[in-house]
Amino acid sequence: MPLKTTFTHKLTPAQQALLKDLLKTGNYRPVLIEHARIAAETPDCRIALYKTGRCLVQGKGAEEFVTFVLEPLVLQQAGVGYEDVLNPEAAAPHMGVDESGKGDFFGPLVVAAAYTDAELTRAMRAMDVKDSKAISSDRKALDLGRDLRRLLGRRFSVVKIGPAAYNRLYSRMRNVNTLLAWAHARAIENLLASVPDCPQAISDQFGSKSQVSRALLQKGRRIELVQRHRAESDPAVAAASVIAREQFLRALAAMGQDYGMDLPKGASEGVRATAVELARKREPRVLLEAAKCHFKTTDAVLAELGQTRAVLGPEGRAVSRPAFTRKE
């Protein structure tokens, strides 16, 4: 398995002081890096402490530096090479489930499930797989999602609910948690076709676990469902998060090409302005095909066009309660 060559740690002020002293007094060659408080290198790696407190270690000797220097002398805790001891459940066979697009006005809701075991977990760590929200660019999310799909082969599944289907489902279910539970259950069921003996499915905590349980079919009712806070720290959930984001980004880009305009992510004022432009180019009902119409953004767009939700019909009617709630 290839060595991991990049490590990032957020250091406390006390840890930053320890690292600065270490780099000044040890056998390290100082280097200048923009925005770094201090930076140095060895023949095999480069260490940079940035003004934000983030420590970045890169190079073929990065893992050795983190294991034998940074962890014992600065972090004062073991991590690299001890993941399976510290968190043995992460390497046990299981699947993770996560979604993307839930907070985006344009584009689909995508739910992905990804399987892992000891061998796959080691490969994911080498690829530096982490929650998609922690990935710095769309390009990186696209590349990592592609690489993960190649690694997993048939051991992942994707449920993509385009805006038209999303609006139809929401008009019946009237709650995003219910819709999300249904999509999670479908992703689990689909993946069980490839890994029928998978014993457990882990996801972030939303709504009630019983919603997912009720939506599972015969195969899925044998699996243990686990919802936990910050589930994205689990390698399978992180992999599912990346694949879901990758598939959302590809779908949003394809939709933009169909409409001849870039469709932005999120639900900002820029998104509202784009939606107004799109509705003027086509007609207001285009929102049913391009956007999640229970968002308040829909009301703002229609108001600017001098329209009400009546123009959208029953699938675009207003919501009477919060669209999404997550247990804290």
The DSSP annotation for 127-144 comes to: TT---GGG-S-HHHHHHH
Predicted model pTM? 0.72
pLDDT attached to residue 75: 83
Topology match between the domains 6-81 and 90-328: no
CATH class of this structure's domain 6-81: alpha beta
CATH class of this structure's domain 90-328: alpha beta
The C-alpha atoms of residue 132 and residue 103 are separated, in whole angstroms, by 14
The C-alpha atoms of residue 55 and residue 38 are separated, in whole angstroms, by 10
In the chain, what is the greatest distance between 2 CA atoms, to the nearest angstrom? 72
Give the domain ranges of the chain: 6-81, 90-328
pLDDT attached to residue 318: 53
pLDDT attached to residue 325: 40
Answer yes or no: are the C-beta atoms of 245 and 100 closer than 8 Å. yes
Answer yes or no: are the C-beta atoms of 5 and 63 closer than 8 Å. yes
Provide the 10 A C-beta neighbour count for residue 315: 18
Per-residue pLDDT of the chain (328 residues; tens, 9 = 90+): 456 788 888 899 999 999 999 898 878 899 999 999 999 999 889 999 999 999 999 999 888 888 878 888 888 765 554 444 445 566 789 999 999 999 999 999 999 999 999 889 888 877 878 777 778 789 999 999 999 999 999 999 999 999 999 999 998 888 888 899 899 999 999 999 999 999 999 998 776 677 777 777 666 667 888 888 777 878 899 999 999 999 999 999 999 999 999 999 999 999 999 999 999 999 999 999 999 999 999 999 999 999 989 888 877 765 434 444 443 3
C-alpha triplet 137, 103, 141: angle, nearest 5°: 20
C-alpha triplet 42, 45, 50: angle, nearest 5°: 100
